[in-house]
Amino acid sequence: MATSANPTRDDFAAMLDEQLGGADDGGFEGRVVKGTVTAIENGMAHIDVGLKSEGRVDLKEFMRGEDDHGLSVGSEVEVFVDRIENADGEAMLSRDRARREAAWDKLESEFGEGKRVDGRIFGRVKGGFTVDLDGAVAFLPGSQVDIRPVRDVTPLMDMPQPFQILKMDRRRGNIVVSRRAVLEETRAEQRSELIDKLAEGQVIDGVVKNITDYGAFVDLGGIDGLLHVTDMSYKRVNHPSEMIEIGQTVTVQIVRINEDTQRISLGMKQLESDPWDGVAAKYPVGMKMTGTVTNITEYGAFVEIEPGIEGLVHVSEMSWTKKNVHPGKIVSTSQEVEVMVLEVDSEKRRISLGLKQAQRNPWEEFAEAHPVGAKVTGEVKNATEFGLFIGLPGDVDGMVHMSDIAWGISGEDALALHRKGEEVEAVVLDVDIEKERISLGMKQLEKGAPTEAGAGSSLRKNQVVTVTVLEVRDGGLEVQVGEDGATGFIKRSDLGRDRDEQRPDRFQPGAKVDAMVTGFDRSKKPTFSIKARQISEEKEAVAQFGSSDSGASLGDILGEALKKKED
């Protein structure tokens, strides 16, 4: 292209177009181009990128990157062309934009290949932090900073470290990164390497990191193992804090390694001798010993007979006399008790103990102290429809059947004569140790009770006799024939024909009355009735002194009969 000796502005523009291949100025805008530093003045770098005019870039943009070392006139740098020319005729250049564009190209490539990227955390925003990825700004959510929540991220600020890109959108300029994903991947790799070096049965030292209700987590040098509370000791451990504390160095054995989940189970008791070895020979069935109550449940109590060896006393084996009672009302935790071995199962590590077997059977003791025929005194504990239960020495109960309460009255009436809490006397009729039963009798102690020959054998049915009132009860009168004769009972309803006469309180002990023998019970004890005697005398009077059609009144007839009887 020919030019004049004195080129004009248009000639210069034409030469520039020729140098740029005829491209329009707009072809430079929005692109990264190379330029040369022509001057450094007042904190600005003048850069010639081959446009009509030079551009200026703040030196701070170079200081934020790694290309600020040795920047001088003549240095070649890459810049981003925002505009070809501004109002002052200068090119609008940016080193930051150039670095970002280059960073985006690199990041897109690394994101596609799943590679980690290096960056620096340089700021805090809502919900997380900003990360400089060599020019591109990414967002780091707070949940992706670390594996565990981090309260203070100051030590992580402005420190080069790897990140994993989770999401990126160049059109919107969004990049989301994670530091946690890198840590988890690194941890998994380290965990796999450590697990490969470990083996079941291996003994290793570790540091207690955390304690829970069910055990403790122990750091084995980059990998955690669970030390369950049941594997801490052969003896009962209520809480792991009884055995260990956080920060303590403990020696443990690797009990199990789950290759699928990479979980490691640890044990401490495995390093001790097993106290259950030879336990069957050491504690034969029937042996008595002293132990300490360690735990109480609804179904019984656990008793430690030596460190690491516990047996169960079932609720049914706790007391001879206390039935259906919660074990906590019989024994208490830490109490020393004497027990007997009932059964030993070494394979299942179970020992059945008995608390009551270590004590004498109270029914045997009662039978020895109170043979049949002996008198006892006790309190009425309960009244049932078939008899009375009496509290006896030795914390045992005896039963008085309704037929053995009193002579001459029905069992129902006899039961009504006694109340709960009343103290009574009885005689021992029978003791069944195996069935734990004691039979008692109360009527056998009554004065004038029938003998085997039958105390009432001299009396006859319908015979009228004179009896003496021994006792006045609500249900009637206890009476006796003569001084040493048979005793019997006159029911309330048999005290007279009229209702007013059927009141026991109109009689006093010692009073004498005439009554008719109405019958005998199974024990040949007589029963009496004043009412029956009155009816019998009435019939006899009518037969002797009048008839139904004689015209005489009943009062006249009875009056005449009574007068004859008095004469």
Q: Are 356 and 318 in contact (CB under 8 A)?
A: yes
In this structure, what token pair is assigned to residue 472?
Answer: 């006045």
For a pLDDT cut of 90, what percent of the chain falls above it?
14
pLDDT per position as a tens digit, 475-518: 888 888 877 778 888 998 999 888 888 889 889 988 899 999 88
The mean pLDDT value for 125-134 works out to 89
d(CA 546, CA 555): 11
Residue scoring higher pLDDT (120 or 94)? 120
Backbone angles phi, psi at 363, to 5 degrees: -70, -35
pLDDT per position as a tens digit, 37-80: 778 877 787 777 777 667 777 777 676 555 545 677 777 777 77
The mean pLDDT value for 310-339 works out to 89
How many beta carbons lie within 10 A of that of residue 543, not counting itself? 11
Q: Where are the domains of the chain?
A: 27-113, 114-184, 198-271, 279-358, 375-445, 464-545
pLDDT tier for residue 129 given thresholds of 50, 70 and 90: very high
The structure tokens 């007013």 sit at 500
pLDDT tier for residue 562 given thresholds of 50, 70 and 90: low
What is the amino acid identity at position 404? D
Query: What's the CATH number for 464-545?
Result: 2.40.50.140
Q: What is the pTM of this model?
A: 0.43
Per-residue pLDDT at 300: 92
d(CA 25, CA 8): 19
For residue 440, give the nearest of 416, 474, 405, 395 by alpha carbon: 405
pLDDT per position as a tens digit, 453-465: 344 456 787 888 9
pLDDT tier for residue 525 given thresholds of 50, 70 and 90: confident
How many beta carbons lie within 10 A of that of residue 151, not counting itself? 4
Q: Which of 184-193, 437-446, 528-537 has the lowest mean pLDDT?
A: 184-193
What is the topology classification, in CATH, of domain 27-113?
Answer: OB fold (Dihydrolipoamide Acetyltransferase, E2P) (2.40.50)
The mean pLDDT value for 416-431 works out to 88
Contacts of 360 (CB under 8 A, 6+ apart): none
Residue 12: pLDDT over 70:
no
End-to-end Cα, the chain, rounded Å: 187
What is the topology classification, in CATH, of domain 375-445?
Answer: OB fold (Dihydrolipoamide Acetyltransferase, E2P) (2.40.50)
Contacts of 536 (CB under 8 A, 6+ apart): 462, 464, 516
Mean pLDDT of the chain: 80
d(CA 122, CA 130): 6
DSSP H helical segments within 424-545, as ranges? Answer: 530-545
d(CA 118, CA 418): 98
Return the ∠ at Cα 236 (arms to 235 and 241), rounded to 5°.
110
Residue scoring higher pLDDT (254 or 1)? 254
d(CA 195, CA 116): 25
Residue scoring higher pLDDT (52 or 221)? 221
The structure tokens 């109405």 sit at 518
* CATH architecture of the domain covering 198-271: Beta Barrel (2.40)
Residue 314: pLDDT over 90:
yes
For a pLDDT cut of 70, what percent of the chain falls above it?
83
Residue 20: pLDDT over 50:
no
The mean pLDDT value for 281-305 works out to 90
Per-residue pLDDT at 25: 47
d(CA 337, CA 359): 11
d(CA 71, CA 451): 137
The mean pLDDT value for 223-246 works out to 87
Per-residue pLDDT at 162: 92
Residue 2: pLDDT over 60:
no
Residue 18: pLDDT over 60:
no
pLDDT per position as a tens digit, 167-176: 988 888 788 9
pLDDT tier for residue 24 given thresholds of 50, 70 and 90: very low
In this structure, what token pair is assigned to residue 1?
Answer: 């292209």
Residue 340: pLDDT over 60:
yes
Per-residue pLDDT at 40: 81
Per-residue pLDDT at 21: 42
Per-residue pLDDT at 497: 87
What is the topology classification, in CATH, of domain 114-184?
Answer: OB fold (Dihydrolipoamide Acetyltransferase, E2P) (2.40.50)
Distances in whole angstroms, Cα of residue 186 to Cα of each of 161, 222, 278, 501: 13, 11, 49, 108
Q: Are 426 and 390 in contact (CB under 8 A)?
A: yes
Residue 567: pLDDT over 60:
no
Per-residue pLDDT at 452: 40
* CATH architecture of the domain covering 279-358: Beta Barrel (2.40)
Per-residue pLDDT at 353: 93
Residue scoring higher pLDDT (447 or 178)? 178
Per-residue pLDDT at 453: 38
Residue scoring higher pLDDT (54 or 388)? 388
DSSP helix/strand/coil, 203: strand
